[in-house]
Structures are given as C-alpha cells and as structure tokens.
Amino acid sequence: MAGNIEAARTKDAVYVRVTGLGNFNNAGPMREYCEKAFEEGLRALIVDLGPCTGLDSTFMGTLMGFLGMELADGPVAVSVVNATPASMRAMTSLGLPKILYVRPDPVRFPECKLEALREGWQDKRRRTLLIRDAHMALMQHDKENEARFAPFVAALVKEVREMDEQRQ
C-alpha cells in the first residue's frame, strides 16, 4: 500500500500530512525535512493523519524519535491531529498516545503550501539506520516495546556493522 507525505513550514511549526500509509519508505524523507526545520529553529511538529490509512512501526518510531532530539534551544513538541480509527489503533498498540499529544477533536490545517516529499531511499545503510533508530525510540519511550523489538533492533545493529565492515 502506497503512502504520500506532504509538508510545510510556517513561522511557528512544521506541518505534515500523511495520505495513505505512513511507512518506512516515506518516514526518511519526512525525518530529513523535519530535522532541517528543527535546525532552523522550529520546535513544533503537527502531523495530520486525516487521510491516513495506516502506520507502520518505523513511521511511528520516527515520530517518537523527534521527542528525544537533543537541541540546543529546547525540545520538539509533536502533536497528532485528525487520527483515523486505523491510525489510532496502530499508535495505541505501540504506546504513542502515552507520550505524544493526540488531539481528539477534528482540526483544520492552517492555510499553507504543502509540498510533496519524495518517497524512498537510495541508500540501504541509511534506510537500515532509520529503521533501527525508529525502533530504538519506540523501545525507549515505552518499555513494553522492548520484548517486541529488541531482537529486531539487534539484527539491524548487526546488519549496519556488517555493511560498515564491507565498506572498509
């Protein structure tokens, strides 16, 4: 199932709209877009899941990873709006509503020019690191995820190590 991410920056926040599936293919470009905005001083991320049909663990872990970012001038606030029943079930299964603010009532996105972000990664190592980081964030923010993801993260760490050894 395909997904599409659109994003915009205003003077106050980064806005992201997820259409279709939020997954490992579009989490990386979203992370790059948001990190650049955070480097430029923005500290709020608002994620609209109204047109979202589902979320995978890498996408959700990427959102959780924004909460753990070490920024010189303060933490990032992440809010989720317009969660669908499917996206809410996925987030609840991994403990996101315990940590992220999920606004229960419908929200209209502000008028802003959303741009479509590219999908996918060219580099297998970067994709593997994204998936590893996302799952580590899920484990860090909800200890119940450790049993579910610790073996997977260990395999990803090994895979990155092997890729690095092959590069040398």
| pLDDT 10s digits, 11-67 | 999 999 999 999 999 999 999 999 999 999 999 999 999 999 999 999 999 999 998
Cβ neighbours, 10 Å, residue 119: 16
List the CATH number of the domain containing 100: 3.30.750.24
Contact 31, 20 (CB under 8 A): no
Q: Give a yes or no: residue 134 inside a domain.
A: no
Domain coverage including residue 39? 3-120
Q: Give a yes or no: residue 66 inside a domain.
A: yes
Residue 2's pLDDT is: 79
Q: Give a yes or no: residue 143 inside a domain.
A: no
Q: Give a yes or no: residue 27 inside a domain.
A: yes
Contact 55, 24 (CB under 8 A): no
Tokens linked to 123? 């580099």
Q: How many domains does the chain have?
A: 1
Considering only CA atoms, which of 36, 52, 74 is closest in space to residue 28? 36
pLDDT per residue over 93-127, tens digit each? 999 999 999 998 999 888 889 999 987 777 889 99
Angle made by CA atoms 51, 145, 79, in degrees to the nearest 5: 35
Report how far apart the first and last C-alpha atoms of the chain are (Å, whole number).
37
Q: Give a yes or no: residue 86 inside a domain.
A: yes
pLDDT per residue over 126-151, tens digit each? 999 999 999 999 999 999 999 999 99
CA distance 112 to 8: 7
Confidence of residue 168 (pLDDT cuts 50, 70, 90): confident
Confidence of residue 167 (pLDDT cuts 50, 70, 90): confident
Q: Give a yes or no: residue 128 inside a domain.
A: no
Q: Check pLDDT > 80 for residue 68.
A: no
